[in-house]
Amino acid sequence: MGERQPWKLLEFIPSTGWRLAIGRDTVGGQCCLYRLSITRQRPRQRGRSASRRATSPFPEFRAMATGEPSSSTTAPTPRTLDTPLHGAGMVLPPLNEAEREPIPVHDPHWASQPDADKPRVLPFDSLRFGGPVVRRVHTDEVRGERAWRMYYYGRSVDFHDQRVCPLPTGSVGVAESDDGLVWRRVRGMERGGAVLAPNLENWWCFDSQHVGVGDVQWLSSTKVRGACGAYFMYYFGGDAEAVSLPAMGGSGDARTVRGLRMRVGVAVSKDGLHWSRLEGACPNGAVLDVGGAGAFDALYCGWPAVVQRPSDGMYLLYYHALDLRTSRFAVGVALSADGLRWHRRSPPEPVLSGSAAGSGAFDERGVGTRSVIVLDEAQREHVAQWLDGMAPQLVMFAEGVDSRGRHSIGLYASEDGFVWRSMRSDGQPVLAPAADPHHWDAGSVGTPCAVIMDDLTVRLYYVGFEKTPADPTLTSRSCIGLAVSDGTDWRRPFRRHQLS
């Protein structure tokens, strides 16, 4: 006879209200069949008994959030897309009413027509956005370019297919800044003002439904033809494959989600604004496919971060997946000699999966999105003073998930890129959601991108979500924020930047 284990909460996506869960059936004491489910959080009903709440398959999301639940019974103030967000740290806010106006479609078929006669669509990031990738662009590399550039992904209110998994991914866009503090969006030539959009014309490709940026690197002329070199964007995307997610424990409706089987791709650009895809070795065009049956990354591999290891010049591509074997988020790595052809380590096991269960650490349920930095000699000496003789080559700012489902950002170090160690012994993050429930990032923080400044301080760009609105028809708004290190000690809690 088979044994069925209860559903276990894996993830709550505050931007949508959807919950991802896993169950397991054991057949004959040997074979394990995994069941995947996604349901939407329902608004709490008046008069629901305490016993009913206690037997609910999942706790209310407010129990996972930072701070104590409010006991006030006062009705919340109605919230719209233009209700102001409050708190320090926000550097790229949601679009205002004027910025959400439809913009012309740039298409060769309409090139000869004036903008007034072209079809119009909403901006690609009009619903939600995140995943900042910030680069300091030096003028001696590309003349006349801004000093700072941010790549990020977003999803439009009029996104083409609502069956695609409810993430902030959709298309990739750009913002620019003179100082890395005050940012302005730069509208690209793709649909909705993006610079890289889903590959809708080629339905068989891995990125036909939605895309998101993972990393952007400048590679010299030793890797590409031309006098200067080119930008390489390592991105991820999902196709139209439908993953069937049945109803969960008698709560919610069955749902089929498209685009969950995400893979890694590469695009190239001369100016960082106009991109062309490079077809990978996989039949669907990806450069890194999902793992085989039973592997920790069999469901998806996404959010790539690429570095070149100084010891041997090998490129390392870090990604993360949801490990169905352990119900944890885990970071994997692939290797390449040229940055284009990738292979996994053997055996292909995670290099980082968080702290032990029951530890109470910020990453008890795994580690996901990350920013990986190769340290120069001065930075290595600086970090080594905290690590008892360890001589790290790399540091990683990574998003962890605790036992309550709260997302925070922590710090790790590694000597070889394969064995990682937390740089804090107390299990605490360097950036957590704001304690003030009205703060713009009180719901969750994640997708970090760290920039080490010349004075050895760190700027940490991240996405934050507000707490889930009481109105189930509304989604949590996201913003991109900036936190800075406490001087040169990267282990201490970061403080949110306050614009003057």
* Confidence (pLDDT) at 251: 44
* Confidence (pLDDT) at 160: 87
* Confidence (pLDDT) at 9: 46
How far is it, in rounded angstroms, from Cα 138 to Cα 48? 59
Range 443-463 average pLDDT: 97
Q: In this model, does residue 223 exceed pLDDT 50?
A: no
Q: Which residue has the tokens 């979500």?
A: 465
User: Is residue 49 very low, low, confident or very high in pLDDT (cuts 50, 70, 90)?
Assistant: very low
Are 288 and 301 spatial neighbours (Cβ–Cβ below 8 Å)? Answer: yes
The CATH number of whichever domain residue 270 belongs to comes to 2.115.10.20
* Confidence (pLDDT) at 45: 39
State residue 50 phi and psi, 5-degree precision: -65, -35
Closest Cα partner for 266 from 208, 191, 214?
214
* Confidence (pLDDT) at 138: 59
Residue 242 lies in a domain: yes
Residue 159 lies in a domain: yes
Residue 81 lies in a domain: no
Residue 75 lies in a domain: no
Residue 79 lies in a domain: no
Q: In this model, does residue 500 exceed pLDDT 90?
A: no
Residue 95 lies in a domain: yes
- pLDDT per residue over 263-280, tens digit each? 999 999 998 999 999 999
What is the SS3 string spanning the chain?
Answer: CCEEEEEEEEEEECCCCEEEEEEEEEECCCEEEEEEEEEECCCCCCCCCHHHHHCCCCCCHHHCCCCCCCCCCCCCCCCCCCCCCECCCEEECCCCCCCCCCEECCCHHHCCCCHHHCCEECCCCCCEEEEEEEEECCCCCCCCCCCEEEEEEEECCCCCCCCECCCCCEEEEEEEECCCCCEEEECCCCHHHCCECCCCCCCCCCCCCEEEEEEEEEECCCCCCCCCCEEEEEEEEECCCEEEECCECCECCCEEEECCCCEEEEEEECCCCCCEEECCCCCCCCCECCCCCCCCCCCCCEEEEEEECCCCCCEEEEEEEEECCCCEEEEEEEEECCCCCCEECCCCCCCECCCCCCCCCCCCCEEEEEEEEECCHHHHHHHHCCCCCCCCCEEEEEEEECCCCCEEEEEEEECCCCCEEECCCCCCCCECCCCCCCECCCCEEEEEEEEECCCCCEEEEEEEECCCCCCCCCCCCEEEEEEECECCECCCCCEECCCC
Residue 300 lies in a domain: yes
Q: In this model, does residue 222 exceed pLDDT 60?
A: no
Are 318 and 305 spatial neighbours (Cβ–Cβ below 8 Å)? Answer: yes
Domain count, the chain: 1
User: Is residue 69 very low, low, confident or very high in pLDDT (cuts 50, 70, 90)?
Assistant: very low
Range 443-472 average pLDDT: 91
Range 248-275 average pLDDT: 81
Are 150 and 132 spatial neighbours (Cβ–Cβ below 8 Å)? Answer: yes
* Confidence (pLDDT) at 388: 83
Q: In this model, does residue 423 exceed pLDDT 70?
A: yes
Q: Is this model's pTM higher than 0.75 or not?
A: yes
Q: In this model, does residue 4 exceed pLDDT 90?
A: no
* Confidence (pLDDT) at 146: 56
Q: Which residue range forms the structural domain that includes residue 302?
A: 3-43+57-64+87-496
Residue 82 lies in a domain: no
320 burial type by CB count under 10 A (0-12 exposed, 13-18 middle, 19+ buried): buried
Q: In this model, does residue 385 exceed pLDDT 70?
A: yes
* Confidence (pLDDT) at 33: 43
